[in-house]
Amino acid sequence: MTITNEEGEEDREALTYERQDFWETTSNKQLNFLQHIVSMLKVDGKAAVVLPDNVLFEGGAGEKIRRKLLENCDVHTILRLPTGIFYAQGVKANVVFFDAKPKDGQRHTQGVWFYDLRTNKHFTLKTRTLKLDDLRDFIACYHPDNRHERAANARFRYFAYDDLMARDKASLDIFWLKDDSLDNLDDLPPPEALQQEIIDHLEAALAAFRDVAAGLQRD
């Protein structure tokens, strides 16, 4: 907030607003976006939220929010999207599917299905756009008529809750397919994409440090 007095002098002051319906207070807008959506859902309400990768692996508030999300909601599917589809070039995103559940003290996520539409997939916003046909296999795997009757394939895999919680920082940043581009140096992403990816990871780490510092100040 910037305050300007009658003489035109400016004074800046930081504002922090803590929402009582949020699990954690954080400066990460994407984590707040996720918490806001959860707070809006009625019991059994359904959501599909586009989120960048750092929401899946960030420590500090990110880890606490992921654990709460899996406890309080039924997080059943994560679609790993190709680079640059929803965000800037080089930024990787996901669609996280979950259902709101009653606040009854029970853990509501039993496990999460992951679909990898990223590894060895190449799309652009102009010459090779993502089309409905590219999502046909995911839709079939999702099995919208009854998602409890799913079958795994090369790109679709199930991870039990306990296995996810055993991962470092309860990370949901999961991949298992071999990236063929790593064997071909001529097929590496452009330098600007690699640069953006490094920036994204550094910004996520900086946000995590800020959350830890803010927590120490409150204590």
Dihedral over alpha carbons 47, 48, 54, 58 (to 10 degrees): 30
pTM: 0.77
For range 94-100, the mean pLDDT: 97
The per-residue pLDDT for 183 is 57
User: What topology does CATH give the domain 27-179+189-213?
Assistant: Rossmann fold (3.40.50)
Q: Which of 18-32, 34-48, 85-99 has the lowest mean pLDDT?
A: 85-99
Q: Domain extents for the chain?
A: 27-179+189-213
- How many helices, marked H, and strands, marked E, lie in the chain? 6, 7
Q: Is the pLDDT of residue 31 over 90?
A: yes
Average pLDDT, the chain: 86
Most confident of 4-8, 102-106, 156-160: 156-160
- In Å, what is the CA distance from 96 to each residue of 66, 81, 115, 150, 207? 11, 11, 11, 17, 21
**Which has more confidence, 164 or 25?**
164
Identify whether the C-beta of residue 47 lies closer than 8 Å to the C-beta of residue 100: yes
Strand partners, 73: 100
Rounded-to-integer distance, Cα 187 and Cα 181, Å: 5
In which band, very low, low, confident or very high, does the pLDDT at 107 lie, cut at 50, 70 and 90? very high
Nearest Cα neighbor of 75 from 105, 53, 95 is 95
| The pLDDT of residue 167 is above 80 | yes
pLDDT of residue 189 exceeding 70: no
Query: What is the pLDDT, as a whole number, of residue 210?
Result: 76
